[in-house]
Amino acid sequence: MPAAALLLPVALLAAGALLAGAAGRVRPGAGRTPVALFAWAALAALLLLWVPQRNPIDLNLGDLGAGIRFVLRLDAVSFAFSLFVLLPSALLLTFQPNPSPPLAALATAGAVLTLLAGGLVLAALAWGATFLLVLLLVQAGGEPAPSGARFRQQAAWLLLIWAAAALSAWAGTDQYAAVPVSALQAPIFGLVALAAVIASGLVPWKPWPAVLWERLPPELAGLAILPLYFTGFYFLARMYQAGGGHLPGTFFNLALAALGAACALFAALRAQAAGSRRSYFSEVLPMGGGFALLALGLGTALGVAAAIATLAAVALLAALLPLVGDDALSGRLMLALIVVVGLPPTAVFGTRLLDLQAAVESNEVGGYLALLAAGAWLIGIAGAARAVRLGPRREAGRGSTRAAALVGALVVAGGAGLGVLQATIAVPAAAALLPFPGTALTGMPYATATASGSWPAVALGGLAVLATLLLAVAGRGRAVPALSGAVPAPLLAPRWEVLPERLGTIVDSLEVPAEFRVTAWKSFDQAMARGSVWLWIAIFVVLALVVAR
């Protein structure tokens, strides 16, 4: 297939946005159909580009000026992350109404361009454009974007640009596959890591995806989160490739893994103390992202592969939650609660098990972090049991029963098909990022295999899938009984929520002792005004000479 075909996914999404805009001018609401069709066409184009040959494809369109090269590259990594964005976006564009289908399609196109960019400079510019399109999408839905989130994303973009410029100046190129191993210095990686953490909301406190999910309606929240959420993980993964399979120091591996465990734990704590089911669901992506960051930070073959498999499950959850229509106690909501907590045989269960296995295999510190993540998992399960009795925050969303059932079935059956996911997506992507022996990690269609052993995913998960299907068929058509009684108290009281206010009160109470206070500022101003201008000129000249030396 010609290299120019790499433009197809982005071009199809852009064409769909143009047609949707034209159709919307003729008849309001008519733009949803062309956008959905072109989104599925972009997904089909991505699959046709990669699946038949599974070899990297490069497209070099020359220099754009200022040292920016327009190079696109499709390999196992960009294919996996583009799939994580395109598949849930296509589902949401098809089954969910959207306030502005053209902007949603353009934001998705910007995210795909970011993931297909062959260098960090072009990726940073495309990411900035994607961020602006997401802001416009949120505003088109009549919802003001949180000012704090907007400031943080702007800071992430500036950090990316800074890191890209530093990498290009130090290495002579910003292309991931061409950067010399010695060029990835600790300061450069620190900038990229900080930008990635901000971009994906990988922080222990309430991150921007959770804030958007609580404040925005489901039909808007999903498409506002998807274009940006996976890019932070993508930039971190690409740094393994730029560093020859390693980060600049083991400190970064430990820091990222510890941050991932902390993100999962604090997300679980917030979830079990949620005041509504909407608040509980808002912590699903942060918790899944914490497990993925824990595995990705380990720097091992199994860790990277497990992280990519975890992100695949998170992508399906990002498509499922907006389709549930979340607040009404219904069958699809019960299915969503079972899926998001990671009960067997779901894909969430299998991927989190891989994350913990990778952490235990890595080193002693990884073993302790695995215990922390396992504790977060158990707290999340307790929070799901409590979330059944939580009341609605607002009226129930419209949702889509058939689409939610379809995506939920994919997640449930994903545990049995984990070997296929590992063999087709996770292991090839890990092999493109860091070299490892062929026997260190393998993917088998019917089992999940690692260096320390394997477990038959189909044999174990298949029986559980059949049992789940039988229960679903037996309970079909039966309404979920409404639960009465008081909402149970959280397992752990959320005392940490008032910690920022307490710290602010302590800081405000600090004051300079009376004997050291300067109160005669007006006298200082008058003395400076009466002084000779030549004195200040002389001081300026002396300071200039000191600085120049």
* Residue 313 in tokens: 């499950």
| Residue-range definition of the domain harbouring residue 317 | 263-503
Q: Is residue 442 situated within a structural domain?
A: yes
Instruction: Count how many residues are written for the chain.
Output: 549
DSSP 419-437: HHHIIIIIHHHHHHHS---
Distance (Å, whole) CA 268 – CA 284: 9
**HSE on the CB side for 330, CA within 13 Å?**
18
Distance (Å, whole) CA 298 – CA 294: 7
Q: Model pTM?
A: 0.84
Say how many domains are in the chain: 1
Question: What is residue 512's DSSP assignment?
Answer: -
Question: Of 234, 209, 222, which is closest to residue 108 (Cα–Cα)?
Answer: 222
Distance (Å, whole) CA 538 – CA 259: 52
Q: Is residue 492 situated within a structural domain?
A: yes
Q: What is the pLDDT of residue 203?
A: 92
Distance (Å, whole) CA 110 – CA 380: 33
Quick one: which H or E segment has residue 337?
helix 331-340
> Could you tell me how far CA 72 lies from the centroid of its own chain?
22
Helix boundaries (H) for 98-202: 101-116, 120-140, 147-171, 186-200
* Residue 127 in tokens: 């990411």
Q: What is the pLDDT of residue 448?
A: 60
Q: Is residue 363 situated within a structural domain?
A: yes
Assign 246 to helix, strand or coil: coil
Q: Is residue 364 situated within a structural domain?
A: yes
Q: Is residue 495 situated within a structural domain?
A: yes
Cis peptide upstream of residue 345 (ω within 30 degrees of 0): yes
Quick one: which H or E segment has residue 447?
strand 447-450
Distance (Å, whole) CA 451 – CA 348: 21
Strand order in the sheet with 441-444: 441-444, 447-450, 453-455
Q: Is residue 445 situated within a structural domain?
A: yes
Angle formed at CA 347 by CA 341 and CA 348, multiple of 5 degrees: 30
- Cβ 164 vs Cβ 69: under 8 Å: no
Assign 60 to helix, strand or coil: strand
* Residue 516 in tokens: 């050291």
The pLDDT profile of the chain, 549 residues, written as one tens digit per residue, is: 677 889 999 999 999 999 998 888 877 777 788 999 999 999 999 999 999 988 999 998 887 766 678 889 999 999 999 999 999 999 999 988 888 899 999 999 999 999 999 899 999 999 999 999 999 999 887 777 666 677 888 899 999 999 998 988 888 888 888 888 888 899 999 999 999 999 999 999 889 999 888 888 888 889 999 999 999 999 999 999 998 888 998 999 999 999 999 999 999 999 888 888 888 889 999 999 999 999 999 999 889 999 999 999 999 999 988 888 655 566 677 777 888 888 887 889 889 988 998 999 888 999 999 999 999 999 998 888 888 777 654 444 555 677 777 887 788 777 777 888 888 899 899 989 987 655 455 555 555 656 555 655 544 555 455 555 555 555 454 544 545 556 667 777 666 665 666 776 777 677 777 666 766 667 767 776 776 777 778 887 888 887 776
Distance linking the first and last C-alpha atoms of the chain:
60
Distance (Å, whole) CA 169 – CA 54: 32
Distance (Å, whole) CA 423 – CA 457: 13
Question: What is residue 117's DSSP assignment?
Answer: B
Strand partners, 230: none
- Cβ 19 vs Cβ 38: under 8 Å: yes
The residue with tokens 């000129």 is 537
Distance (Å, whole) CA 468 – CA 300: 34
Question: Of 94, 105, 248, which is closest to residue 170 (Cα–Cα)?
Answer: 248
- Cβ 119 vs Cβ 176: under 8 Å: yes
Distance (Å, whole) CA 77 – CA 75: 5
The residue with tokens 């994903």 is 414
Distance (Å, whole) CA 126 – CA 131: 9
- At 91, the amino acid letter reads L
